[in-house]
Amino acid sequence: MTSSPPVNRLCAVTLDDASIGRSGADVEHERATAIYDLLEDNRFTPVGDPGEGPYTLHIGLVDNRLVLDVKRQDGGEVVQHHLSLTPLRKVVKDYFLVCESYYAAIRTASPTQIEAIDMGRRGLHNEGSTLLQERLKDKVEVDFDTARRLFTLICALHWKG
């Protein structure tokens, strides 16, 4: 007996081209990896949706608000959420600063220095993921790993190179 794939998940994720700034290879790699990892393993359930997925998600920025446009796999509308970015602004800014230090360090620093910076980077990433999960709790149920990957993509939208 073959089990069917879970329905409370994302099957496709796209980022709004108009929202994405030009970036270096490191950021492009982070985006691609986050999308790949997100599609491989995620838990995503719009709160109050009487139907079931799988779902597609289009992420963009409009007027300094995060827009999450959720649809069914066949394109049917589910919900569109507009979230203020203000609660995430500080952690995203701090995350960018640490990421810049990390990318610079991997070229010249000792392994111990790189590890210390990476621990800080992961800590900020976890903090941002937890905050995002809290902000989404009445809108979309996601597990922590899904929130982490979504946080990476939100950061990718902010990264203007």
Which phi and psi angles does 11 have, rounded to 5°?
A: -110, -15
Rg (CA), the chain: 16
pTM of the prediction? 0.85
Degrees, nearest 5: CA angle 36-24-105? 100
DSSP letter at 75 equals S
pLDDT digits (tens), the chain, 161 positions: 455 556 799 999 998 877 776 667 766 787 888 899 999 999 999 999 988 889 999 998 888 889 999 999 999 999 999 999 899 989 999 998 998 898 899 999 999 999 999 999 999 999 999 999 999 999 999 999 999 999 988 887 766 54
